[in-house]
Structure formats: structure tokens, C-alpha cells
């Protein structure tokens, strides 16, 4: 049970009734050789099937809604839901799918008129969109004020697993955090450092911590404005583990994602002695840019993961879109797959890396929402969950329910 949040069984008899279901079907779209837009990865669509199937079995008339991309409040054919609608119909028929919610400015603005439009003619509401439940958007927080509401199977499962990490993880509890910007992860770092036995830090965010220890980081991504915060975390926490070596890019060279066409540069030499990619220890020379953890760090991190009772991973170890800097992320993904403990991956780029390596099925829980995962772990609650507690059919909280010690959630940030 989630504290005070109604579940599907709390909606009562749904035979012949209209149910609005908020899903997160924000899936990657690609084009075939013939120029036809199709779904490239249907993981999030398949994740919605248990809730939709249950509602259909109850005899409900299902109207689903979702966003796709960022069309900025106006219709854009590049973000219409045609490919998503087709794939959903293939997986489960009889579900009406509204057009992209973000075609209306009222969605992200939480406009009451847009909420009323969504709930018009509906008898109940289900939120099964964990990936956007940290957003105070109209389709997420609006309907429970008007309709009996419930958390879908996916949302309930996400909260159960992630809240379990805060309450009673099998130990040792190891957290692996990566990604580019340290400012995006400071809050969750503080929260998890107080609960985890070990926190492994990689990606671009590691360089601000390395600077805080007095190391030179060359031209690597670092945030001087966060040096004091990183220094304080290092002072107050003894179990943060930073990279011991770094794979770096030569001065003046570009990452593949920075080049037109996205192709990697050939592995030539800059001066006849040094390659354009080098591995450095604690100190990175001036002009060189760290873009991945080094091999020694990959081995160190993998050994710590191997002995874990529970592992949470969120964020790549480097610029894994560039094949020259994908080894660190690959090593973590493979270590997660081998780990005999409970493994949880917080969506986003980490999930993409697992999919590329064919390791998704070897992870115990793959979250459908990276930003939502982080906010739930940091605050213990989400705006979408708080809204469900206000629904007409919501139940009082019972001691012992999940997230019973939750603090106030934020409304989410676009950086997550």
C-alpha cells in the first residue's frame, strides 16, 4: 500500500464507465527507409499493458493520454502520436489515445480549463505515468480534484521498489551516480549518502568533486559554483568513491556528438607521440577533457558492485554516445548484470546503455522515469502521488504504509 493513495481496486465497479488514464508513452521515434515514423523502443508502451488490461477486463471504456517530446504548447507533426497509437493498438486494442497533451499550453501550465477538458465525460482517473509524476502538469495533478482516482500497476510498483531502497535495502547498499552536471544530483547525493554504504561517483559530475580534493581536471566539465557544496559532502561523508583514473580527449578535439553528422574522429595522433585519447591518473593535464572513467576505476567500481546486496544506478560514467568513451558505462552495466544482489536502474541514459548491450532483462527493476526516480528518492514523495491523495476515494494514511515519512516534494525541474 502507498500511503493514502488509492489503487485500482479502490475504483469500484467500472463496467461501462469511462476511465481517463495518464500514461508516459514518451518513446523514441525513428523513420524507416520509406520515411514512415515508427516507435524505436516500445518499453514504456509495454509497461502500460498490465493497467490497461485490468481496466479492460473490468469493462471500462479507456481513454489514454500522454505527451511526446517537447512541442512547446503547439501542434507539431514531428510529435504527433500516430506511431505510438499504432503500436498501442498492436499490443492492446480498444484503447482510445488522445493527441499529444503538450500540443496545448494548458498541460504544462496546469490550466484548470484544460483539466476540465480532460475529465469531461469521464467517471474515473488512473495515473500510471510514473515518469512524469514529478511534474505538476494538468494531466498529472488535475483530474483527482474531480474524479475518483487511483495509481496504476506501474506507478504503484515503481513507488514500492524505490521507496524500499530508502526503508530497508539489503546491505551493502551501493549507489552508482553519473551524468554530466553535479548540480542536478547534489540533492539526491545528500539523501542517498545518508542511507547507502558506498556511493560511486562517475561521469562529468565527478570532476567538481576531484577539484574539491585539489586535483587538476584540465578542460573537463566542472562547476566552480558547486565546489563548496562538494567539499562539504566529502568532509561529512566517508563513503564517497571517486574515479582514480580518467579517459580524456586531447586539446582541440571534439566529441562525436559535437561534430556535424555525429561521427567520431579517426584515432590519429596529435604530435606523433600522443593519441587523441589518453588515460590519466589523478591529474588531468591542461587542455585535456575527461570524458569517461578509466579502466582502473571501472575495475574498482565493478568489484564494489559485485559484493553489494542492493545496487541503484543512475547516470552514465562518460559520454557513452561516443564509442571511444563508452567503456566505463559498459563496465558498470555488465557489473550490474552480474550482481547477485538486488539491482535497480533509474531510467534515462543508464537504461539506454543497458538496452544497447542487451542486458535489460538481467536487471531486477528498470525504472521508467529517471527524473521521477531521483525526486522520489530525494523527497520521498511526488506531486502526482500527492494529488491522488486528494481524490474523493482516497483513504487515510495508515502507519507502516510506503513513504510514511515522506517530506514535501518539489514540482520537478526540466534538468531531470
pLDDT of 260 = 52
pLDDT for residue 258: 75
Give the pLDDT score at 409. Answer: 43
Edge to edge, the sheet with strand 342-345 lists 240-241, 198-201, 173-177, 310-314, 342-345, 365-366
Report strand pairing: 37-39 vs 29-31: antiparallel
Q: Which residues have a catalytic role annotated? A: 44, 181, 348, 371
Q: Are strands 124-127 and 149-151 parallel, antiparallel or unpaired?
A: parallel
- Residue 274 has a pLDDT of 59
Buried b (16+ CB within 10 A) or exposed e, 234-267: eeeeeebbbbebbbbbbeebebbeeeeeeeebee
Q: Please write the tens of the pLDDT for every residue from 224-277.
A: 999 999 999 999 998 999 999 999 999 989 888 776 554 445 444 444 445 799
What is the predicted pLDDT for the residue at 351? 86
pLDDT of residue 371: 87
Q: Which residue spans of the chain are classified as CATH 3.40.50.1260?
A: 8-156+380-388, 171-340
Low-confidence ranges of the chain (pLDDT < 70): 1, 259-274, 395-416
- State the Cα–Cα distance between residues 337 and 334, nearest whole angstrom: 5
Question: What are 327-369's pLDDT values in tens digits?
Answer: 999 999 999 999 999 999 987 788 888 988 999 999 999 998 8
First to last CA, the chain: 27
- Give the contacts of 238 (CB within 8 A, at least 6 positions apart): none
Which CATH class for the 171-340 domain? alpha beta
CA-only gyration radius of the chain, Å: 23
CATH architecture type of domain 8-156+380-388: 3-Layer(aba) Sandwich (3.40)
Q: Report the pLDDT value the prediction gives residue 147, as an integer from 0 to 100.
A: 98
What pLDDT score does 29 carry? 94
The position carrying cell 541514459 is: 349
Helix, strand, coil content of the chain in percent (nearest 5): 40, 15, 45
Amino acid at each position: 500500500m502507498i500511503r493514502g493513495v488509492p489503487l485500482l481496486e479502490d475504483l469500484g465497479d467500472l463496467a461501462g464507465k469511462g476511465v481517463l488514464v495518464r500514461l508516459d508513452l514518451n518513446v523514441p521515434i525513428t523513420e524507416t527507409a520509406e520515411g514512415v515514423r515508427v516507435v524505436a523502443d516500445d518499453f514504456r508502451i509495454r509497461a502500460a499493458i498490465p493497467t490497461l488490461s485490468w481496466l479492460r477486463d473490468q469493462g471500462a471504456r479507456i481513454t489514454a493520454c500522454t505527451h511526446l517530446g517537447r512541442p512547446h504548447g503547439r501542434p507539431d507533426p514531428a510529435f504527433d502520436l500516430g506511431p505510438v497509437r499504432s503500436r498501442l493498438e498492436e499490443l492492446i486494442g480498444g484503447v482510445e489515445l488522445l493527441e499529444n497533451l503538450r500540443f496545448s499550453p494548458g498541460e504544462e501550465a496546469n490550466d484548470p480549463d484544460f483539466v476540465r477538458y480532460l475529465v469531461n465525460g469521464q467517471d474515473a482517473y488512473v495515473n500510471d505515468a510514473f515518469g512524469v509524476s514529478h511534474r505538476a502538469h494538468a494531466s498529472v495533478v488535475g483530474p483527482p480534484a474531480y474524479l475518483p482516482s487511483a495509481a496504476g500497476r506501474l506507478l504503484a510498483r515503481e513507488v514500492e521498489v524505490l521507496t524500499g531502497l530508502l526503508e530497508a535495502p539489503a546491505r551493502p547498499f551501493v549507489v552508482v551516480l553519473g551524468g554530466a552536471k553535479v548540480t542536478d544530483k547534489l540533492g539526491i547525493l545528500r539523501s542517498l549518502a545518508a542511507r547507502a554504504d558506498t556511493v560511486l561517483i562517475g561521469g562529468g559530475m565527478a570532476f567538481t568533486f576531484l577539484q574539491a580534493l585539489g586535483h587538476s581536471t584540465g578542460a573537463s566539465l566542472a562547476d566552480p559554483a558547486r565546489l563548496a557544496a562538494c567539499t562539504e559532502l566529502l568532509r561529512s561523508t566517508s563513503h564517497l568513491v571517486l574515479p582514480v583514473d580518467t579517459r580524456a580527449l586531447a586539446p582541440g578535439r571534439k566529441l562525436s556528438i559535437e561534430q556535424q553528422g555525429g561521427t567520431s574522429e579517426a584515432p590519429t595522433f596529435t604530435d606523433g607521440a600522443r593519441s587523441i585519447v589518453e588515460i590519466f591518473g589523478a591529474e588531468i593535464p591542461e587542455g585535456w577533457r575527461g570524458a569517461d572513467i578509466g579502466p582502473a576505476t571501472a575495475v574498482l567500481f565493478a568489484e564494489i558492485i559485485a559484493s553489494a546486496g542492493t545496487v541503484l544506478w543512475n547516470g552514465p560514467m562518460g559520454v557513452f554516445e561516443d564509442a571511444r568513451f563508452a567503456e566505463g558505462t559498459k563496465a558498470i552495466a555488465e557489473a550490474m548484470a552480474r550482481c547477485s544482489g538486488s539491482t535497480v536502474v533509474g531510467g534515462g541514459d543508464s537504461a539506454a546503455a543497458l538496452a544497447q548491450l542487451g542486458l535489460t532483462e538481467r536487471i531486477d527493476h528498470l525504472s521508467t522515469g529517471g527524473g521521477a526516480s531521483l525526486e522520489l528518492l530525494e523527497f520521498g514523495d511526488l506531486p502526482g502521488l500527492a494529488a491522488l491523495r486528494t481524490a474523493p476515494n482516497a483513504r487515510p494514511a495508515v502507519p507502516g504504509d510506503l513513504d510514511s515519512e515522506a517530506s514535501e516534494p518539489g514540482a520537478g525541474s526540466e534538468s531531470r
